[in-house]
A and B are shown apart, each in its own frame.
Chain A
Amino acid sequence: MYELKGVTRRYTRGKQTVHALEDIDLTIPDGDRLVIQGPTGGGKSTLLQMLGGLDRPSSGEILLDGTDLAKLPEARLTRVRSESIGFVFQSFNLIPTLTAQENVETALVPLGVKTKERREKAAEALAAVGLGERLGHLPAEMSGGQQQRVAIARALVKEPKVLLADEPTGNLDESMRDEIMEVLIRMWKELGLTFVMVTHDSALAKRAPRVAIIRKGRLTVEENPGT
């Protein structure tokens, strides 16, 4: 479970101080599916990075199962990321020189999983997202939707507690978007993950049980009772 208490993030850009997040309080229970929406530059991605331990707040606490990510030393924060958090990015962020299977394996490297087991797990994860026949393909040999499915397999192969997705369908057309969302929601349900997704797409937001909206660094949460 995430608990955010008075989270503020400011940074300087030239001579200006940008208030990306202002005094955010938010609770995300285990197994929740939360969509974060808001205008460009509103602080959505910053909030997602805070949740993923990729950035630290200027002030406030980010508790993940009672551990304050804001105060963790870098080595432990890296460990938390490798064990508990899976990321999916808008641009897929696959390593272009590695095959689909090897890309998925990169998520298991920090956990010290042996080569053979690593390969098997990566193959299983790719099969779970429908890419069991594409293990040896390079990213450049796959479509955008397939690449994003590799990225999802990479995020989930280590069986994390949290899946964070930053505009996962942003670079895909409508049919691909639905295909990816179907995979993500299926995995969320199957694995009992806490799933936080940033999106501009209102259609996707309407399907989420809770929507957090960030405007000028301020957060409001809306419930979607129908979902």
Chain B
Amino acid sequence: MFFTYLRRELRRRRKAALVVASGLALGIALVIVVSSVSSGMGKAQEKVLQSLYGLGTDMTVTKAMETSEEGGERPERPRFSFDAQAEGSGEEQSTDHVMVQGFQSLADSTVDKVGEQSGVADAVGGLSLQVVKVSGEFTRGRFQQDGQGGQDGGQGGPGGAGGAEPSEGGRVQGGGADFDVNSYSVYGTDVTEPKLGPLTSSRITDGRTFKASETDAKVAVVDSAHAKEKELETGDTVTVKDTKFKIIGIATAESGDAAADLYLPLKQAQTLADAKDKVTTIYVRATDSQQIDSVKSAIQKNVSGTTVTTSADLADTVSGSLSTASSLATGVGTWLSVAVLVTAFLVAGLLTSSAVSRRVREFGTLKALGWTSGRVTGQVVGEAVVHGLMGGVLGIALGLAGAYAVTAISPTLQAELGGGAGGSGGMGGPGGGPGREAAAKTLEVALTAPVGLTTVALAVGLAVAGGLVAGAFGGWRASRLRPADALRRVA
């Protein structure tokens, strides 16, 4: 009888059922969209952080550059010297300068020291370098006395004037420089630890990555953007400071910018930079993600002078539209969902209560026939729960459609990282330029709204809860109904 009565009532009061279910559906759909967008924001932030750290890295250890007043290492200023060639020789000269980028270098032994700290599962070093290559023709000018044939003289330095200069009794003609400056980043990576380090933020899209045995090999992995720009392919050779490296693979950054244009075995990078046994960044993986804070404290305490940056620290520095949207989703979105949901619950409750008022005679009659208050209340609650479940189904459908729409549109969000003061030594990634301040890095990530099973389970829970809240309102009224009053009121 319960189900027959329930079915008939729901069919008879379709419009009322639809109104209650729609209200609940709206609230539930909003909860699904907001939680899926929040989850998408989280994933976007993870992507941003991974683009700096690489997958599996819980924190980085660096040492900030000291200013000249503090008297430490100073960023090198590159200096280039070229001998002028005779005019018309056509010989191209080039030289490249390799320098450590972003941070003060740390001794290799620091990697071991960090690795020995409690809670550290693994620690590997990386060396971030900047290569500046100048190449071109540098020709002498010709000194020409008035009325006489010229003789070689003067020298066209970099940027030097190529035109004639007046001089006493004669002048220099011709000569000058035609050169190109090419700058790119190189990252020395520990090939024995392929699961940790800068290359983990990229995916090998052609060729292969380093083998553990290639510590001393003259091999390189090139970032796909750099490869495209320089028209490099797997199997080609790239020359850095007169050393030729064979390109074994092309890496593509998972999101945003790559960690470097060129990846070399750490030992090769150290040799190029004349930084034997030096690293700039130590990548650390903790044994337990819950222990990251304690590991950070241990490293800071035991390895003095270093800066430990966790993904949480990094996340705090994220600004731009991603940060704004994330704040909106977690702040306004959450409160909006709660407000709509509470309102939907209340409206459903009031509508159910009002429906009971309209059915006073019906419930009064049933009580007169010997139906207990519990049985009458159960009938009311049953109807409300079905309304809730209808709202849940409708809300899940709406919410999934909303989340799908967000994913389909995939609005692009910008994440600005590490802009401004680099008091903490800047970020662990190679985005920081030379000097104390880390350069701001802007990444673009597409927002998705993934709906997990937990979210759907939450929606079903909310639907049942909404039905129960509404049923509680109506059931309370129905249980308080005295049959004599009910029948007298409608007599």
Q: Which residue of B lies closest to A138 (CB)?
A: B8
C-alpha spacing A20/B361, complex, angstroms: 22
B5 touches A87 (CB 8 A): no
Chain B residues 1-46 with CB under 8 Å of chain A are 1, 4-5, 8-9, 11-12
Cβ-neighbour of B370 out of A49, A78, A93 (below 8 A) = A78
Known: A93-B361, A95-B362. A102 touches B1 (CB 8 A): yes
Q: Which residue of A lies closest to B370 (CB)?
A: A82
Tell me, yes or no, whether A184 is within 8 Å of chain B by CB: no
Tell me, yes or no, whether B488 is within 8 Å of chain A by CB: yes
Tell me, yes or no, whether A142 is within 8 Å of chain B by CB: no
C-alpha spacing A82/B366, complex, angstroms: 10
B365 touches A93 (CB 8 A): yes
When each residue 323-364 of chain B gets 1 if its CB lies under 8 Å from chain A and 0 otherwise, what string results? 000000000000000000000000000000000000001101
Tell me, yes or no, whether A141 is within 8 Å of chain B by CB: no
B490 touches A91 (CB 8 A): yes
Tell me, yes or no, whether A98 is within 8 Å of chain B by CB: yes
Q: Which residue of A lies closest to B366 (CB)?
A: A106
How near does chain A come to B35, taking the closest CB pair, in angstroms?
38
Chain B neighbourhood of A98, CB < 8 A: 4-5, 8
Q: Which of B365, B370, B371 gathers most chain A CB within 10 Å?
A: B370
C-alpha spacing A75/B490, complex, angstroms: 24
B370 touches A79 (CB 8 A): yes
Tell me, yes or no, whether A105 is within 8 Å of chain B by CB: yes
Cβ-neighbour of A109 out of B8, B9, B371 (below 8 A) = B371
Chain A residues 76-99 with CB under 8 Å of chain B are 78-79, 81-83, 87, 89-91, 93, 95-98
Chain A neighbourhood of B370, CB < 8 A: 78-79, 81-83, 107, 110-111
Cβ-neighbour of A97 out of B1, B5, B482 (below 8 A) = B5
Q: What class of interface size applies to chain B in its complex with A? A: 20 to 34
Tell me, yes or no, whether B267 is within 8 Å of chain A by CB: no
Cβ-neighbour of A95 out of B5, B483, B491 (below 8 A) = B5
Q: Which residue of B lies closest to A111 (CB)?
A: B370
Chain B neighbourhood of A89, CB < 8 A: 365, 487
How near does chain A come to B376, taking the closest CB pair, in angstroms?
11
C-alpha spacing A106/B363, complex, angstroms: 12
Tell me, yes or no, whether B271 is within 8 Å of chain A by CB: no
Tell me, yes or no, whether B375 is within 8 Å of chain A by CB: yes
Q: Which residue of A lies closest to B368 (CB)?
A: A87
A105 touches B1 (CB 8 A): yes
Q: Which residue of A lies closest to B11 (CB)?
A: A97
How near does chain B come to A27, taking the closest CB pair, in angstroms?
23
Chain B neighbourhood of A111, CB < 8 A: 370
C-alpha spacing A45/B368, complex, angstroms: 14
B491 touches A45 (CB 8 A): yes
C-alpha spacing A36/B491, complex, angstroms: 17
C-alpha spacing A219/B129, complex, angstroms: 111
Chain A neighbourhood of B1, CB < 8 A: 102, 105-106, 109, 115, 118
When each residue 133-169 of chain A gets 1 if its CB lies under 8 Å from chain B and 0 otherwise, what string results? 0000000000000000000001000000000001000
Question: DSSP class of B's interface residues: helix, strand, loop or mixed?
Answer: helix
C-alpha spacing A54/B368, complex, angstroms: 7
Q: Which residue of A lies closest to B362 (CB)?
A: A95
C-alpha spacing A79/B482, complex, angstroms: 15
How near does chain B come to A32, taking the closest CB pair, in angstroms?
22
Tell me, yes or no, whether A52 is within 8 Å of chain B by CB: yes
A110 touches B491 (CB 8 A): no
B362 touches A87 (CB 8 A): no
Tell me, yes or no, whether B410 is within 8 Å of chain A by CB: no
Tell me, yes or no, whether B453 is within 8 Å of chain A by CB: no
How near does chain A come to B13, taking the closest CB pair, in angstroms?
9
Cβ-neighbour of A110 out of B362, B372, B482, B484 (below 8 A) = B372
Chain B residues 354-399 with CB under 8 Å of chain A are 361-362, 364-373, 375
Known: A95-B362, A106-B1, A109-B1. A78 touches B367 (CB 8 A): yes
Chain A neighbourhood of B371, CB < 8 A: 78, 82, 106, 109-110
Chain A neighbourhood of B484, CB < 8 A: 49, 54-55
How near does chain B come to A76, taking the closest CB pair, in angstroms?
11
Q: Which of A55, A78, A82, A105 gathers most chain B CB within 10 Å?
A: A78
A54 touches B4 (CB 8 A): no
A102 touches B4 (CB 8 A): yes
B491 touches A81 (CB 8 A): no
Chain A neighbourhood of B372, CB < 8 A: 75, 78, 110
A90 touches B369 (CB 8 A): no
Known: A45-B491, A55-B484, A102-B4. A96 touches B12 (CB 8 A): yes
Chain A neighbourhood of B366, CB < 8 A: 95, 106
Chain B neighbourhood of A166, CB < 8 A: 491
A110 touches B369 (CB 8 A): yes
Chain A residues 1-48 with CB under 8 Å of chain B are 45
What are 11 A-B contacts with C-beta separation under 8 Å? A49-B484, A54-B482, A55-B482, A78-B367, A82-B370, A87-B365, A95-B365, A97-B8, A106-B369, A106-B371, A110-B370
Extra 4 A-B pairs, beta carbons < 8 Å, given A45-B491, A54-B484, A91-B491: A54-B482, A81-B370, A89-B487, A106-B1
The 5 A-B pairs of least Cβ separation, nearest first, read A82-B370, A97-B8, A55-B484, A110-B370, A93-B365
Interface set of A (CB-CB < 8 Å, partner B): 45, 49, 52, 54-55, 74-75, 78-79, 81-83, 87, 89-91, 93, 95-98, 102, 105-107, 109-111, 115, 118, 154, 166
Interface set of B (CB-CB < 8 Å, partner A): 1, 4-5, 8-9, 11-12, 361-362, 364-373, 375, 482-484, 487-488, 490-491
